[in-house]
Structure formats: structure tokens, C-alpha cells
Amino acid sequence: MAGFSGKGGSEGGRNQKFDIKAYHGAKSWAGHVSKALALAYPDFTVTMQDRPEAISAAAKLSGLPRNLSFKPHDFFSPQTLHGADAYFLRHILHNWPQAEAVSILSALVPALKPGARVLVSEFLMPGAAQRGRSLLDDKLIRQIDLQMMDVYNSKERTAEDFAALFRMAGEKLRFVAKYQLPGDQESCIFEAVYDDDDGAP
């Protein structure tokens, strides 16, 4: 998980356009994505969170930018980083069943300020509206879906599944969009916004 905030308070962060290409292609694991985000957005402060052993490994990476810091955190515990512009959860939900996935998101909600973004990066399970695709096109995602069920009693999720997870985690956490790169049918970023009291993001 990473929390990041832009200069100029919440408005600065909210107006910053998120460039999915800056994140795509960054190596996975041990802080590579947080490092890539911090390098791509030098005006942002990025805090990487994970279990202590993952944090120790990430802190040893070379060429770490000054706007990146590290904080061990158990994602089932209440989020301690309050008031970030955005929280980025990458590949940490799909191996958890619904109750635990909702718990992970719920632990984040008390830390959210109005307008905060929650960005979840996961595979996208094609929904009913996309059934025209060939089974071969769907092979990778179906295989991973079966692995998630077999090993973790979990599953890959449709956009509607993610919208429901956000809703169950907090009534003010509203699914607003999903982002995909052309040609990459599996990786997807799901965006939710924590609404103001009057309902305006």
C-alpha cells in the first residue's frame, strides 16, 4: 500500500492527473512501484506500507528518491497515515475473500479526508457485458481466478464486485472509475472517492 499527497494541500493532489503509464511497467514487489511513483511525481510525498520484512527489503533499494518514506503497517489495523490525497492498494486484495477484503478497506476509511482517492490495482474479471470475448482471451484471468479460489478461497473480481467492496467498506466510499491501458485487459485501477458530507467529491 502507498499513501501519497501533492503539494498545495488537497486541491493540488486532486487536480493532479494520474498517469497510469508511469506506474505500468514498474517492477513488482519490495517497493519498486512506490519508488517509480515517487520518481514520476517529485512534488508528491509517497509513503510505502507493507509488513516489516517487505519494508526492510524496500529500504535497501538503490537510488531511492527523497520524497519516498517507509512505514511498516498491518493492513487489517486502523490506518495510521491520516489525510493523504490518495491511497494506492496494489495486488493486495485479490487473494483475500470478501469479508477480509472489506476489512482491509474498512481499516482505511477512518483515515480518509473528504475527496481522498482510494486506488485499487488488480486484475479485472470480465463481467457479463464483456462476454463476447473468446475463452482464449480470458484464459489468463480465468486461471488466476481458479488459483485464488483453490489456494485462498478468494476470486478475481469484476468492476461491479469492486464497487460493492467499496460500498461495504464505507457508505461514503464511492466507486467512480476504472482505468486500463489499451491492450492490457487484465491490469486495472479501480478508483473510489471518499465523499464530502454534502455528497460532493
Ligand X SMILES: C[S@@+](CC[C@H](N)C(=O)[O-])C[C@H]1O[C@@H](n2cnc3c(N)ncnc32)[C@H](O)[C@@H]1O
CB of 197 to ligand X, least distance (A): 30
Which position among 17, 21, 25, 28 is part of the footprint of ligand X (CB under 6 A)?
28
Residue 144, exposed/middle/buried by CB under 10 A (0-12, 13-18, 19+)?
middle
Whether 91 sits among the annotated catalytic residues: the reply is no
CB of 100 to ligand X, least distance (A): 9
> Toward ligand X, which CB reaches closer, 11 or 19?
19
Residues near 13 by beta carbon (within 8 Å), at least 6 away in sequence: 4, 5, 6, 44, 85, 86
> Toward ligand X, which CB reaches closer, 76 or 152?
76
For residues 175-185, b (16+ Cβ closer than 10 Å) or e, as one string?
beeeeeeeeeb
Neighbours of 38 (CB within 10 A): 23
Site for ligand X in 74-93 (CB under 6 A): 74-76, 90-92
Sheet strands (E) in the chain: 2-5, 45-50, 68-72, 86-90, 117-123, 173-179, 187-194
**Which x/- pattern, by CB under 6 A, does the window 40-79 give for ligand X?**
----------xx--x------------------xxxx---
> Toward ligand X, which CB reaches closer, 99 or 128?
99
C-alpha cell at 156: 478475481
Dihedral sign (CA 128, 189, 161, 163): negative
152 near ligand X, judged by CB under 6 A: no
Q: Which among 24, 82, 91, 94 is annotated as catalytic?
A: 94
Size of the site for ligand X (CB under 6 A): 13
Report which residue's Cβ sits closest to ligand X.
90
Query: Annotated active-site positions, please?
Result: 94
> Which residues form the interface with ligand X (CB under 6 A)?
28-29, 33, 50-51, 54, 73-76, 90-92
